[in-house]
Structure 1
Amino acid sequence: MVEATVYILRCADGSYYTGLTKQAVEARVWEHNNLPSETSYTAKRRPVELVFSETYDLIVDAIARERQIKGWSRRKKEALIAQNYEGLPELSRRGHLVPKT
């Protein structure tokens, strides 16, 4: 079975990057900080810091989770990073709509 890890990095500019790797997450973070790349999101936002990770037994589950997190607001990602799982539902986009009066 091949494990896959979904991770969130905090970039030097304060933005978040969500990714997926089948290698050790620490090695992937090192690559984000050290490998030359002109086109990657993190290359111009170094250094990056690992702030969250989850490991899955099935790559399809990891892919689904990565896509889910990428669609989340900054506030919802920060709740996940803080492990505030109870607060996640109220941070959904639908939960923040203001009713018209």
Structure 2
Amino acid sequence: MSSWSLYIIRCRDGELYTGVTTDVNRRFAEHQGGGPKAAKYLRGKSPLQLIYQELVGSRSEALKREIQVKKLSRQQKLALLNVSRTTA
């Protein structure tokens, strides 16, 4: 069973994109490449910056966590980033 991670990417315009994957580095490279596997939302928004990743566990847990994070306001997401930096 693969471990799943949640990640947040900051776009050139400062927008935040949240997703889940089993391989954050591979998925980020796909987004940066802008190819067919990249999220349409991120196309044309380069440069992209991977600013957060969180090991979640199962796919089900990752999808639940993704929904939780996507419901957060921008300020709450930025606070999540700051908390992770101070506890890392």
The alignment partner of 1:44 has SS state of coil
SS at structure 2 position matched to 1:45: coil
Higher relative contact order (CA 8 A, sep 6+): 2
Structure 1: stretches of 5+ with no match in the other structure: 85-101
TM-score by length of 1: 0.75
CA offsets per residue over residues 39-81 of structure 1, 9 Å max, x none?
A: 7111121111111111122111111000010111000000011
The runs of at least 4 aligned residues of structure 1 exceeding 3 Å deviation read: none
**Greater strand content:** 2
- Alignment TM-score, normalising by the size of structure 2: 0.85
What fraction of aligned residue pairs are identical, expressed as a percent?
Answer: 35
Query: Unaligned regions of 5+ residues in structure 2, if any?
Result: none
In the aligned structure 1, how far is the partner of 2:62 from the partner of 2:42?
A: 21
The RMSD of aligned alpha carbons is: 1.8
1:66 aligns with 2:66: yes
Tell me the matched-pair count.
83
Distance 2:15 2:82 in 1: 16
Counterpart Cα distance in 1 of 2:49 and 2:71: 20
Q: Which amino acid aligns with 1:81?
A: L
State the alpha-carbon separation in 1 of the partners of residues 34 and 44 from structure 2. 12
Superposition map of 1:1-101 within 5 A? 1-22=1-22, 24-37=23-36, 40-83=40-83
